[in-house]
Amino acid sequence: MFLPQEVIRKKRDGQTLSAAEIRQFVAGITDDSVADSQIAALAMAVYFQGMELTENVELAMAMRDSGRCLRWDDLHLPGPVLDKHSTGGVGDVVSLMLGPLIAACGGFVPMISGRGLGHTGGTLDKLSAIPGYNPFPTPERLRQVVREVGVAIIGQTSDLAPADRRFYATRDITATVESIALITASILSKKLAAGLDVLVMDVKAGSGAFMPTMAQSIALAERIVHVGNGAGVRTRALITDMSQPLASTAGNSLETLEAVRYLRGEAANPRLHAVTMALCSEMLLASGLAKDMVDAGQRLQSALDSGRAAEIFGRMVSALGGPADLMEQPERHLAAAPVVRAVYAEHGGFVSAMDTRALGMAVCALGGGRRQASDQLDYRVGLSGFAELGAELMPDTPLLFIHAADAASADEAERRVREAIQLAPQAPAALPLVYQTIRQSEQEPSQ
């Protein structure tokens, strides 16, 4: 007889849960036979006691199996199924370029993305800024778009990993979100349900990262790599910098427009380009679509320079209900804010530090982000033209530009921006864009 309290007691006391116990508990989360209080108790026990790798693999797979799992084998796709996931940040618009770039190189990308919350922008919100774009197609339509276009960036539907949705909602109100074991199971349950061959994780580090320290970012990346591989998906991770916004913009329409211009070859923020290429290269290497990093880089640059990636993004948007001419006339479809204001440095100096999280919260204050899941967004608003760390500014040099719905919200954003960006007489030491790449070694056990 299954008793949830016995599973809780066992984990509370630091013992290892069996596969059967984990699966029974997850089944109870799914069918509501396990109470919210019991979910909260297990989450707190895991928060303090952690999980063995084998437990973590089993939890991720049990939550994957709590709903529908996508299958691609019957479509006989002529290439591997790949995806990447980011822990998020400010100006992290990588997915909008990465998906079509990978598709242009022979991969198939069913990317299940989320909406933003707090200071982190969500891929789904950026695409929702495109009029008509439907991020929740039917399963049949999703399969058709992936097969015919090569990429479909959509939202998580209610039948994919439903146990995770209830588990996360409970963790969110019981101060147990930060458990590395539970973060790992939450992320991987959804990615495993997408039927992937390869997953590459982008784990952020720095002032705009979800994980507060570099050590915790590394620990999360390592755990995801080991659990993902243990669950049967070739998984790798990059630790990348989020000590300043990744793109030149932050805000939904602004970032989507930046992605379109990047794909059209008009403008490429060097940091954004480098991180996008690093993640794409790792995906091509892990999937066998490239023989080495040099080959991967050449294939990706060719996909960009030839216009193939831009064409694929336009086809995806059109196939999912968006305008057919987005790539030709993006400004016509991506709404602009009525108030655009430059924020100037109050004195000369070098940009020495940024509170990137605070810059993300400035976007929220403008109406471009959520404080709670039910908030409605103003897709027009945001920030652009960030002065990068190490840049030397004069008093007449803009720190950035605010895009606002009205003067009052621009005033509030300006106050937040000035508090978030520090200037100093000397430039800070340059930070790497990619701190570390984590792959499962030959000696590493799969579980």
Task: Look up the CATH number of the domain holding residue 358.
Answer: 3.90.1170.30
115 is catalytic: no
- Within a domain: 175: yes
Asked if 90 contacts 361 with a C-beta cutoff of 8 angstroms, the reply is no
83 is catalytic: yes
Cβ neighbors of 272 (< 8 A, separation 6 or more) are 91, 93, 94, 246, 247, 248, 258, 262
- Within a domain: 110: yes
- Within a domain: 447: no
Alpha-carbon torsion 65, 221, 284, 253, what sign? positive
In a 13 Å sphere around the CA of 35, the CA atoms on its Cβ side amount to 7
List the strands of the sheet with 398-404, edge to edge.
249-250, 382-384, 398-404, 339-344
Say whether both 310 and 352 belong to one domain.
Answer: no
54 is catalytic: no
Structure confidence by residue, pLDDT tens digits, 32-73: 999 999 999 999 999 999 999 999 999 999 999 999 999 999
Q: How many whole angstroms separate alpha carbon 327 and alpha carbon 324? A: 8
SS3 160: coil
Say whether both 103 and 225 belong to one domain.
Answer: yes
The residue type found at 145 is V
Say whether both 122 and 207 belong to one domain.
Answer: yes
Say whether both 160 and 248 belong to one domain.
Answer: yes
pLDDT for position 441: 59
Say whether both 320 and 253 belong to one domain.
Answer: yes
Say whether both 56 and 82 belong to one domain.
Answer: no
Say whether both 228 and 202 belong to one domain.
Answer: yes
Candidates 11, 23, 85, 115; catalytic one: 85
Candidates 83, 92, 125, 241; catalytic one: 83
pLDDT for position 117: 67
86 is catalytic: yes
Say whether both 13 and 84 belong to one domain.
Answer: no
Say whether both 361 and 258 belong to one domain.
Answer: no
* Mean of pLDDT values over 187-208: 95
Structure confidence by residue, pLDDT tens digits, 307-354: 999 999 999 999 999 999 999 999 999 999 999 999 999 899 999 999
Candidates 165, 190, 308, 370; catalytic one: 190
> 408 lies in which domain range?
336-424
- Within a domain: 207: yes
Candidates 87, 113, 123, 253; catalytic one: 123
pLDDT for position 118: 67
Alpha-carbon torsion 352, 356, 357, 360, what sign? positive
- Within a domain: 435: no
CB atoms within 10 A of CB 100: 29
pLDDT for position 445: 37
Domain CATH number, residue 121: 3.40.1030.10
Candidates 86, 184, 243, 248; catalytic one: 86
123 is catalytic: yes
Q: How many whole angstroms separate alpha carbon 186 and alpha carbon 136? A: 20
Q: How confident is the model at residue 374 (pLDDT cuts 50, 70, 90)?
A: confident
Say whether both 259 and 358 belong to one domain.
Answer: no
Residue-averaged pLDDT of the chain: 94
- Within a domain: 431: no
Say whether both 245 and 106 belong to one domain.
Answer: yes
Candidates 64, 171, 271, 403; catalytic one: 171
DSSP state of 350: E
Domain boundary among 329, 358, 389: 329
More confident residue, 267 or 152: 152
User: What is this structure's pTM?
Assistant: 0.95
306 is catalytic: no
pLDDT for position 19: 98
DSSP per position, 179-236:
-HHHHHHHHHHHHHHTT-SEEEEEEEESTT-SSSSHHHHHHHHHHHHHHHHHTTSEEE
Asked if 64 contacts 193 with a C-beta cutoff of 8 angstroms, the reply is yes
Q: How confident is the model at residue 442 (pLDDT cuts 50, 70, 90)?
A: very low
- Within a domain: 120: yes
291 is catalytic: no
Say whether both 300 and 348 belong to one domain.
Answer: no
Q: How confident is the model at residue 5 (pLDDT cuts 50, 70, 90)?
A: very high
Give the number of domains in the chain: 3
Q: How confident is the model at residue 119 (pLDDT cuts 50, 70, 90)?
A: confident
Candidates 191, 226, 234, 370; catalytic one: 191
Domain boundary among 15, 47, 64: 64
Domain boundary among 329, 358, 377: 329
